[in-house]
A and B are shown apart, each in its own frame.
Chain A
Amino acid sequence: MSETPQAATALESSLGSTTVGGGAESASPSPAGIVGRPPRARASWRERLEITMLSGPAIVVFVAFVILPVFAAVYYGFYRWKGYGPPTDFIGLHNYKVILTDPEFHRAVLHNFEIAGLSLLIQGPLAILLALLLNREMRGRSIIRVLVFVPWVVSEVIAGTGLGLMLPVNGAINGLLTKMHIFGHVHVQWLGSHLGLWTLMAILTWKYLGFAVILLMAGLQNIPEELYEAASIDGASYWQMQRSITLPLLGPTIRIWAFLSIIGALQLFDLPWIVWGEFNVDRDGVSTMATYMAHYGPRTGLYGYGNAVAVVLFIISLIVALFYQRFVLRRDISGSVTDGGKR
């Protein structure tokens, strides 16, 4: 998830602006997002040279380290392979059969989807309220903003290490609760299998709420000031305005955040891995597809198997992404196209 902020913003705009992002069905040659500028004369050799020089390095690096590995994963996934020598032991779909019948993997997938759903339900409302609060013009706003974003900037390893030390039974959280003298002597098993998933949800909310807020705040800036002025002339109250102006106009941003949040939840790795540790995630009910992949991949010498898990993880994410694009984001895209035409 450490890559989230970046990938996030980008995805969002790509999804907002093109259907190319998910390799969607509309494979028209001219992608949206690029506007036809008046064509120049046919590309001269000089221009072609410039194009090659300018975009060549980026394309080479990108293909070598992003596109190629994905194809490599598909290839290696058909082999039983220990990672040295060329893979020779072709076993067809055997790896996939093992993955799809492994109860440990089933649990991981279930956790991924639980995390995705709960993240939306918990973080969504909180993020909207917080973004509204931080968008008010009041003294001290900038310092509050900076402080709210701190968890998002702190790395997963740092957060995980700190929280891993705070959450054990004799850790600081229980210590603090005991000190409050409300609940008596507290020894809650925050990391145990009963509360594990909820603790993880609390951690994820703490860590990624700032990102949702920053995105929504950027979206709020795009809502024309005049709408609020008109509404207040008509005597609308603050909350009425938020309900009838802000929320509908923030819709596209919210839906894009939701998309990023879902994909992030499906790819979740760092925090469960660091807070609970490689060998506890499954027992404590916080394993994910990615922790499963890391555990049964190169670290245990099962290169072929690890690659097959990567392919499954990718396909599941892709299906979810395409589904979401098809049924949720599509209206944003078509809406904004017509909207852009009207203006």
Chain B
Amino acid sequence: MTTASLESAPKPSRARRASGRPPKKKLPWGSPAVYFIALIVIALTLAPVAYIVLGGFRDNSQLTVDPAGLPSPWRVSNYGHVLTSSTFWREFANSVIVGGVTTLLVIALGVSASFVVARYKFRGRGLMFGLFAAGLMFPITVAITPLFIILDKLSLTDSLLGVILPQVAFGLPTTIIILVPFLQAIPDEIEEAAAVDGCSRLGFFFRMVLPLSLPGVLTTGILTFVASWNSYLLPLFVLSKTSSFTLPLGIQQFHSQYASDTAAVLAFTSLSMIPALVFFTAFERRIVGGLQGAVKG
């Protein structure tokens, strides 16, 4: 596997070009049966999402009388109320802060640690990689109770930092394992050439490694952000003041507070899923490409 992972890492970009699809050429139509199956699958996958989004345009009497109906008439007041409520925007901001800072820190710490593992030769390097790889065996679900106690001792409960730092820690193993093959795949010649031109190891890191590992960085960054945006268990344990709630907690809170106002809950819920969806949709191709190196058996 050792060599295999090394060889496979640069493949994403090469494979796409080599698979020889001129980007402009139009793809052929598939058979109707294939589209029919695809249509059914899409209908099933989108139905719950459609229910949430459309439900936000209805009112509660519509929802009670005909739970599976379409909005008639369409009402925008639910969305209006959510968009003008300070609670939504505060929770939105908290989620953006947590997601953004988590992603930046995971990338910063992850890339530099991966660089060390991939390109420095020293005793304990294997141990370091093993340590991070072993981290995959400790999902946050298992660690949540003691983690809460530790955060409590550090007075980090009820602060966004108390969510960010554990998320960074639990995001590092993935990041490092995806990035190390990318960094190892950078040919030694480039580093030597850089050294001849008077570039230090660190200079090489900033000028060559960061740009060259961008596909891997993007993949891990997107996955980290989406996971953080959706994360529920950790904030549930760590944050108890409503002022520090992130959106997933906000949805739950809103749901229990306005249990009878289903339409408002649906509007709130559908607005809070937009950022992760936009983010993922924009970068979907890159994720498949970035994972390729990792999937390689």
Contacts and interface: CB of A to CB of B under 8 A. Distances in A.
Contacts of A39: 121
A314 B1 contact: no
A137 B148 contact: no
Contacts of B138: 66-67, 69-70, 314
A57 interface: yes
Interface in B37-53: 37-38, 41-42, 44-46, 48-49, 51-52
A14 B177 contact: yes
B255 A310 contact: no
B130 A157 contact: no
A interface bracket (residues with beta carbon within 8 Å of B): 35 or more
B258 to A, nearest CB: 12
Contacts of A29: 126-127
A62 B131 contact: yes
Interface string B286-297: 011101111111
Interface stretch (A90-98, A165-173, A239-247, A279-287): A165-173
Interface in B244-281: 248, 251-252, 255, 262, 265-266, 269-270, 272-273, 276-277, 280-281
Contacts of A158: 52, 230, 248, 251, 269-270, 272-273
A298 B148 contact: yes
A154 B146 contact: no
A88 B149 CA distance: 16
Interface in A12-44: 12-14, 16-18, 20-23, 29-35, 37-40, 43
A176 interface: yes
Contacts of B220: 6
Nearest to B135: A66
A54 B113 contact: yes
Interface in A142-192: 142, 144-151, 153-159, 161-163, 165-166, 170-176, 179
By DSSP majority rule, is chain B's interface helix, strand, loop, or mixed? helix
Contact of B292 (A40, A54, A218, A251): A218
Interface in A297-343: 297-298, 303, 306-307, 309-310, 313-314, 317-318, 321, 332-333, 335-337, 339-341, 343
A332 B260 CA distance: 53
A138 interface: yes
Contact of A16 (B180, B251, B296): B296
B136 A10 contact: yes
B257 to A, nearest CB: 13
Given A14-B133, A33-B180, A133-B37, A65 B170 contact: yes
28 contacts: A9-B291, A9-B294, A10-B174, A16-B294, A21-B133, A21-B137, A47-B201, A51-B122, A58-B132, A59-B128, A65-B143, A66-B172, A69-B146, A69-B147, A83-B149, A149-B280, A158-B248, A158-B272, A162-B51, A172-B51, A176-B68, A206-B45, A222-B296, A225-B19, A290-B141, A297-B144, A307-B149, A336-B1
Interface of A: 1-3, 5-7, 9-14, 16-18, 20-23, 29-35, 37-40, 43, 47-48, 50-51, 54-55, 57-59, 61-62, 64-70, 72-73, 76, 83, 130, 133, 136-142, 144-151, 153-159, 161-163, 165-166, 170-176, 179, 206, 210, 214-215, 217-219, 221-222, 225, 251-253, 256, 263, 267, 269-270, 274, 290, 293-294, 297-298, 303, 306-307, 309-310, 313-314, 317-318, 321, 332-333, 335-337, 339-341, 343
